[in-house]
Amino acid sequence: MTLWRQPFDAAEKATKPGQIHIDKERCKGCDFCVDFCPTEALRMSVELSSKGYNFAVVDDESKCLACGFCELICPEFAITVSIPLDNNVA
Amino acid sequence: MNGDSACAEGAISAGCRFFAGYPITPASELAERMSERLPQVGGVCIQMEDELASMAAVLGASWAGLKAMTATSGPGFSLMMENLGLGVMLETPCVLVNIQRAGPSTGLPTMTGQGDMMQARWGSHGSYEIIALAPISPQDIFDLTILAFNLSEKYRVPVLIMADEVVGHMSEKVTMPTIAAKDLVERRRPKVKPGKYLPYKPDADLVPPMAVAGEGYHFHVTGLTHDERGYPVMTVEAHDRLVRRLVDKIRLNRHDIIKYKEFQVEDADIIVCAYGISVRIAQLAVRMAREEGIRAGLLQLITIWPFAEQRIRELSLQAKAFVVPEINYGQIVLEVERCAGDRARAILVPHMGGSVHSPQTILEAIREATQ
Amino acid sequence: MTDTLNAKNHSIEKYLRQDRMPHIWCSGCGIGPAVSCFLRAIDRAEIDPNKIALVSGIGCTGRVAGYVKLDSFHTTHGRAIPFATGLKLAKPELKAVVFSGDGDLVAIGGNHLIHAARRNIDMTVICVNNFNYGMTGGQVGPTSPLEARTTTTPYGNFEPPFNLPYLASASGASYVARWTVLHLRELERAITEAMIKPGFSFIDVIAPCPPIYGRMNKMPLPMDSMHYYQEKTIIRHGADPKEADITLNGPILAGTFVDIERPTFQDQLNHISSKVNAQV
């Protein structure tokens, strides 16, 4: 997204990508996280997990804004999103 | 004091601080007494919406650490069977009083019966062992209620008090001594720290120590077949291990649990085997038989379940016959028959309910037994 | 990064029995997100987890008790509320939470639900409402909408369903809300508010059951139900719960419907008990 005018505190408030951890052995491939990710940072795998499910994988972590919705909506408690430490300092 | 009230007083003396019940004749006086007395001693008494809820609330209260009790009669007893099974499975100490009336169904609500004796043993589904006691008087129900709480806390099993309407409603003098703390049994608490605790890892007597809610143990309990961690395990082996232990913790400790009293059985040919109110009529019948020269004796079953098998077996070697008066059409007589085998006859003196036997009827059965 | 979960960085992992994962719920089941919201709400409401007693009945949602690392009770069908009543009355410092399904709480346990609400027992009831009996294979339930197909209504359901927020509020609940498992931020906040609220609180959580109810009602994929919630949910706080009826694939009214002050059971009990002269 390009803004035609920069907010004065843009640098301070800039979001840095979150880190998404997915336990592929817990994932049952419901697609919720992929479908509802506001930045389309996730996708479903082509390969199958040991239980036979396609599982969610991170497509482009740089898109992640660490909103944590995937973590909340995951029915399997399989996703956790962490924010790199230096992000919390500001 | 009537039997219902004496039972309530016994419970309070035993340390019971929670009662949940639902009105039913002839057990309502018990709930009324508890509702008056429990607030005085800092306990909680609640009238629930039905007996299903009453029994569930009692289990909940026990898991919160209180000694808990409920009381009912036949129709309510049937409803309580559901959570009685849960109580057995979760190994929850609690006491359930059944002031029996004559059934089936609504039957004779205000009149006596002893028709729930087998339901007490087998009323909930599945294989289990239970403890049931039968009082014969208001004094007896006071004493047995204390014993019931002690057994329940010791073995972590619901204990049933199978009284009958006559015992519940009769008024007699009751002596209520102050019960010393040393005479009260409290459930064993876990000695290990949270995190190390296995809710269903038994001690040597097969009874596991019990944590209660709110102490940080974060335990899980379930009515499903479970392992020592309390987690559901759906295997034949886990089920075998669990059911065996639930049954064996009572069976192997039966010598500690089973109580009975004997009158003039030393030389008896004919032994009247009775429980509940029928004991008092049988006493009279035995005395009358002795006057006629019949060597009759009386075995009073205090503990009905587990059944006093061994004693009946021993007595069957000396006696010709057992006479079993019951206010039903034959329940405990089946157990007596089983234990006596073909060594001694078991003669049922049935009464369909509504009143008690006349001593004459029992005497006639004793006479017949001599033939 | 796709790897095994690191327990330390998952905010709710500390409240899960990790040795019991993965759970038994089907792909796309709505119970998981509801549990996530509840576990986050514990911290948000600043409740001591040692003082929570979580009670479940029987059914898919009944299994919640087995997955949370709290004092947790998996009881009999329909009896979670009276069991929790016993726990709460015997130890008032406990926070009683009942987590169960619509069949358990409203059909077989319906009587207990209305009486606990009437008494205003301090308890939070989270009802995962998926419109059918999932565990037993998808039979019609007390909340199945008219015309819904289930295994016991193969030609369509002919019984009108309960409107749960209306039932709970009419019975006397102090706090009543409804959210779907798509509205998770709202649901988390509602559970937080409910747990803080003294008295009986009830949350109707609309949840998908894709492989059973969904399959029979033209929403076979987990995403189908979620898209339905996305399109058809109408959020109206303070709405009259009377209007919260749900029809087959029709609009879902969501929001906080009731948030009132009423003396709790414990308040009333303490008030009356204070008149009793303590004796031994």
Contact B40 C86 (CB under 8 A): no
Contact B68 C86 (CB under 8 A): yes
Q: C126 pLDDT exceeds 80?
A: yes
pLDDT in tens, B127-168: 999 999 999 999 999 999 999 999 999 999 999 999 999 999
Residue range B170-197: mean pLDDT, rounded: 96
Q: Do chains B and C touch (3 or more CB pairs under 8 A)?
A: yes
Query: ∠ CA(B195), CA(B198), CA(B204), 5° rounding?
Result: 135
**Domain for residue A30, yes or no?**
yes
Does A2 fall in a domain? no
What would the DSSP string read from start to end of C186-217? HHHHHHHHHHHSSSEEEEEEE---IIIIIHHT
Alpha carbons within 13 angstroms on the beta-carbon side of residue B118 total 13
Q: Domains in chain A: how many in total?
A: 1
Q: Using 50, 70 and 90 to split pLDDT, how confident is the model at A3?
A: low
Decide if C70 and B54 are in contact by the 8 Å CB cutoff. no
Q: Is C26's Cβ below 8 Å from some Cβ in A?
A: yes
Mean of per-residue pLDDT scores for chain B: 97
CB-based contact, C221 to chain A, within 8 Å: yes
CB C6 within 8 Å of CB C184: no
- Percent of chain B at pLDDT exceeding 90: 99
Q: What is the predicted pLDDT for the residue at A6?
A: 78
Q: How many Cβ pairs within 8 Å bridge chains B and C?
A: 150
pLDDT at A13 over 90: no
Residue A37 placed within a domain:
yes
Chain B (224-283) residues lying within 8 Å, Cβ to Cβ, of chain C: 224, 231-232
Q: Do B221 and C276 touch (CB under 8 A)?
A: no
Q: Which two tokens stand for residue B209?
A: 């120590």
State the pLDDT at residue C192: 98
The string of pLDDT tens digits covering residues C240-271 is 999 999 999 999 999 999 999 999 999 999 99
Which helix (H) or strand (E) segment holds residue B160: the answer is strand B158-164
Domain presence at residue A6: no
Residue type, B299: L
- Rounded-to-integer distance, Cα B305 and Cα B160, Å: 9
> Could you tell me the CATH number of the domain that includes residue A64?
3.30.70.20
Query: Over 70: is that where the pLDDT of C2 sits?
Result: no
Distance CA B44, CA A20 (A): 50
The reported pLDDT for the residue numbered A90 is: 38
Per CB-CB distance under 8 Å, the chain C contacts of A29 are 27
Give me the pLDDT at residue A84, please: 72
Question: Is the pLDDT reported for residue B195 higher than 80?
Answer: yes
- What distance in Å separates residue B92's CA from the closest CA in chain C? 12
* B339 SS3 class: helix
pLDDT at C206: 98
pLDDT(A87) > 60? no
pLDDT surpasses 50 at B28: yes
User: pLDDT value at position B203?
Assistant: 96
Mean pLDDT, residues C39-64: 97
- For chain B, list the domains and their CATH numbers: 3-183 (3.40.50.970), 262-370 (3.40.50.920)
Q: What is the pLDDT at residue C11?
A: 78
Chains B and A touch (3+ CB pairs under 8 A): no
Q: Decide if pLDDT at A5 tops 90.
A: no
Closest to C10 (Cβ–Cβ): which among A58, A75, A80?
Answer: A80
Q: 3-state class of A14 per DSSP?
A: coil
Task: Tell me the average pLDDT across B81-105.
Answer: 98
Q: CB-CB: which of A21, A58, A77 is closest to C12?
A: A77
A50–chain C nearest CA distance, Å: 13
Rounded to an integer, the average pLDDT of C210-214 is 96
Q: Which candidate, C56, C67, C50, C53, places its Cα nearest to that of C12?
A: C67
Q: B83 CA to chain C: closest CA distance, Å?
A: 7
Asked, for residue A11, whether it belongs to a domain, the answer is: no
What pLDDT score does A83 carry? 79
pLDDT (0 to 100) of residue C275: 86
Does domain C12-273 fall under CATH 3.40.50.970? My reply is yes
Tokens of A78: 């399989």
The shortest C-alpha distance from B310 to chain C (Å) reads 36
Question: What is the pLDDT of chain A when averaged over all its residues?
Answer: 87
* pLDDT score, position C276: 85
The pLDDT value recorded for residue B33 is 98
The helix (run of H) or strand (run of E) holding residue A45 is strand A42-48
Check whether B106 has a pLDDT greater than 90: yes
Closest alpha carbon within chain A to C11: A80
Q: Note whether ipTM > 0.85 here.
A: yes
Nearest Cα neighbor of C235 from C170, C172, C189 is C189
Give residue B261's pLDDT. 98
Number of other CB atoms surrounding residue C99 within 10 Å: 28
For residue A88, name the pLDDT band (cuts at 50, 70, 90). Answer: very low
Q: Where are the alpha helices (DSSP H) in A1-90?
A: 10-13, 32-36, 69-73, 85-89
Predicted pLDDT of residue A14: 72
Of C20, C78, C112, the CB nearest to B231: C20
Residue C263: cis peptide before it, omega within 30 degrees of 0:
no
Question: With 70 as the cut, is the pLDDT of residue B64 above it?
Answer: yes
Longest dimension (CA), chain C: 66
Is residue A81 a part of any domain in this protein? yes
Predicted confidence at residue C278, as pLDDT, reads: 56
Can you read off the two tokens belonging to residue C228? 């339905």
Percent pLDDT > 90 in chain C is 92
What would the pLDDT profile of B311-358 be if each residue is shown by its tens digit? 999 999 999 999 999 999 999 999 999 999 999 999 999 999 999 999
Domain coordinates in residue numbering, chain C: 12-273
Q: Where does the pLDDT of residue C4 fall: very low under 50, low under 70, confident under 90, or very high at 90 and above?
A: very low
Among residues 184-213 of chain C, which lie with CB inside 8 Å of chain A?
A: 184-185, 188, 210
Question: What whole-number distance in Å separates Cα of residue B174 and Cα of residue B102?
Answer: 26
More confident residue, B109 or A3: B109
Q: What is the pLDDT of residues A24-83, one digit of tens each?
A: 999 999 999 999 999 999 999 999 999 899 999 999 989 999 999 999 999 999 999 987
Task: Tell me whether residues B218 and C87 touch, CB distance under 8 A.
Answer: no
Mutate to test the interface with B, among C54, C67, C76 (most CBs of B within 10 A): C76
Residue A21 domain flag: yes
CB contact at 8 A, C221 and C143: no
Which tokens belong to B283? 């006493």
Q: Determine whether the interchain pair B50/C111 forms a contact, defined as Cβ–Cβ distance below 8 Å.
A: yes
Residue C70: name the closest of C81, C60, C55, C80 by CA. Answer: C55
CA–CA distance, C110 with A88 (Å, rounded to integer) = 47
Nearest CA in chain C to A83: C9
Q: Considering only alpha carbons, which residue of chain C is nearest residue A31? A: C223
Decide if C128 contacts C30 (C-beta within 8 A).
yes
Cβ-defined contact of C50 to B232 (cutoff 8 Å): no
Among B27, B129, B28, smallest CA distance to B84 is for: B129
Q: What average pLDDT does the segment C183-210 reach?
A: 98
Q: How far apart are the first and last CA of chain B?
A: 43
In a domain, A43, yes or no: yes
What percent of chain B has pLDDT above 70? 100
Indicate yes or no: CB of B220 within 8 angstroms of CB of C66: yes
Domain hosting residue A70, numbered range: 17-85
Measured CA to CA, the distance from residue C69 to residue B277 in angstroms comes to 50
pLDDT at position C1, please?
Answer: 42
Shortest distance between the Cα of C50 and any Cα of chain B, in A, equals: 5
Nearest CA to CA, how far is C223 from chain B (Å)? 31
